[in-house]
A and B are shown apart, each in its own frame.
Chain A
Amino acid sequence: MGQKQTYTQDELIVLIREKDQKAFSYLYDNYSQALFGVINAIVNDTEESEDVLQKAFLKIWNSFSSYDTEKGRLYTWMLNISRNMAIDSTRSKHEKIKSKIQSTDENVYKYENSLSVDDASHDLIGLKTILNNLKEEHRQIIDLVYFEGYTQDEISKKLGMPLGTVKTKVRQAILTLRELTKKEFLQ
């Protein structure tokens, strides 16, 4: 009977469907910082990121009926919404600039969204320091899959790596991040 209420994912989902204010509070308290991190890593502007975060939460709350547990985790769904909104936000700003970038096949679609030409130097002010702790190949893969929204199939083709290897490298990268952020947390 402690002060802080915790909900399992299933309990939270029921409460959100009922439009319970406690559920919104819990959702915001537990996920806003993470979603903001992803958004800001893409948008790279605090004010604009706050704006995108607001829009993302509105969309999450108001279109919650379109979330289906069969599709996967709640966080994954919210991550997708936030990431897409962040990408859309930068797309409108950078469309003009991007038209000058090399237009070879699939690169256009992908780099339209990034802030820099060179995919290795995706300008992550916030999370850069943490990602730099990873091996370069791990850093690159996490950048592509988490911030740019590449599927692992696309990464496999792009990097010329077997799909199974991409998956295990993603796992290794995330295991490292888990360790890194655990330690920082305890500090």
Chain B
Amino acid sequence: MNINEIISSGLLESYVLGTATTEENALINQLCKKHPELVREIELIEEGLINFSGKADSPLNPELKSMIQEQLSFTEAKPAMAEARVVELHAPVESRLNLYKFGIAASIVMFIVSFIYNIMLQKELSKVNGELAELGATKSYMADELKIQQASFKNMNDRFGVVSNPKTKTVALNGMNYLAKSSAAVHWNTETDEVYFNAAALPGSPANKQYQLWAIVEGKPVDMGMIDMGSSTAVFQKMKAVKGAQAFAVTIEDVGGSAAPTLETMCLLGNV
């Protein structure tokens, strides 16, 4: 079948108008995969129809859009719907909460146990003394552990606060090159300009190199700081603040960073 014949037959107009048969639709879908010029013609036909249809009437009442929007439900970073967006943090928060509860429960249990032992073993002082000393040490250990879990919980809670804040824009970063299999996100509070880099599982940077975050502002890259890998592959780090970011990207630079990004090493990129 000659592509030009198909175009001049008006079959594509039928397709866009919705009057083509099921077989014709299937044929066109198939041909479009191999012939981009068909896709282009379809887009032009559609564009023409849309321009024509929208030409005559005066612009729509702007309130109409918000009226419609209010009646629809979306997947967004609203507090009530935070679960859908905050997938990466959800599990850690939950497990930290469980450890926190466990920490409290365990220390309460330990306290009760040592109290009971105290009464029961009053007759055998030396034995009780020995055991009390042992229990005391364990209780101290649990108290330390509780403090650690509390700090961790506060940390997770703060992160949750960052991400679920309605003023925060979450920008997904797609991986490429060195990080082709990875993904990450940037949480940008457009009110306070704060920026947080968030990656659940980031591979270590190559030897003697560091990841550097950039924001694209007015088409130019602005340094947002070096990403501190720490001891684990998960990163949630407050970076420099920025206004007017259009996109965020990560490149691989020498340790300490670079004044300008080495674009060939770009490994994460996302548009705001």
Contacts and interface: CB of A to CB of B under 8 A. Distances in A.
Interface of A: 1, 3, 5, 18-21, 24-25, 28-38, 40, 50, 53-54, 57-58, 61-62, 69-73, 75-77, 79-80, 125-130, 145-146, 150-152, 164, 167-171, 174-175, 177-178, 180-182, 184-185
Interface string B229-267: 000000000000000001100000000000000000000
A39 B50 CA distance: 13
Interface residues of B, number: 50
Given A50-B64, A129-B56, A146-B17, 11 more contacts: A20-B75, A24-B74, A32-B64, A35-B53, A36-B60, A167-B10, A171-B8, A171-B13, A174-B45, A177-B52, A181-B51
Interface string B49-71: 11111111101110011011101
Contacts of A69: 29
A31 B51 CA distance: 10
B126 interface: no
A151 B19 contact: yes
Contacts of A182: 48, 51
A184 B56 CA distance: 11
A38 B20 CA distance: 20
Nearest to B56: A126
Nearest to B67: A54
Contacts of A3: 246
Interface of B: 8-20, 25-26, 29, 42, 44-57, 59-61, 64-65, 67-69, 71-76, 216, 219, 246-247, 271
B17 A130 contact: no
B57 A126 contact: yes
A28 B49 CA distance: 16
A175 B219 CA distance: 38
Contacts of A126: 56-57
DSSP class of A's interface residues: helix, strand, loop or mixed?
helix
Contacts of A177: 48-49, 52
What 4 pairs between A and B have smallest CB-CB spacing?
A178-B48, A167-B10, A171-B10, A33-B54
DSSP class of B's interface residues: helix, strand, loop or mixed?
helix
B52 to A, nearest CB: 5
A72 B18 contact: yes
Contacts of B12: 171
A77 B137 CA distance: 71
Contacts of B219: 1
B20 to A, nearest CB: 7
A25 B48 CA distance: 21
Contact of B20 (A61, A72, A174): A72
B17 A170 contact: yes
Which of B19, B73, B219: most chain A Cβ within 10 A? B19
Contact of B14 (A20, A125, A167): A167
A102 to B, nearest CB: 26
Nearest to A46: B57
Contact of B56 (A62, A127, A152): A127
B13 to A, nearest CB: 5
A32 B68 CA distance: 11
A91 B258 CA distance: 68
A123 B54 CA distance: 17
Contacts of A146: 17, 49
B51 A61 contact: no
A127 B50 CA distance: 12
A47 B108 CA distance: 67
A79 B44 CA distance: 16
Given A57-B68, A73-B46, A167 B11 contact: yes
Which of A50, A53, A170, A181: most chain B Cβ within 10 A? A181
Contacts of A168: 8-10
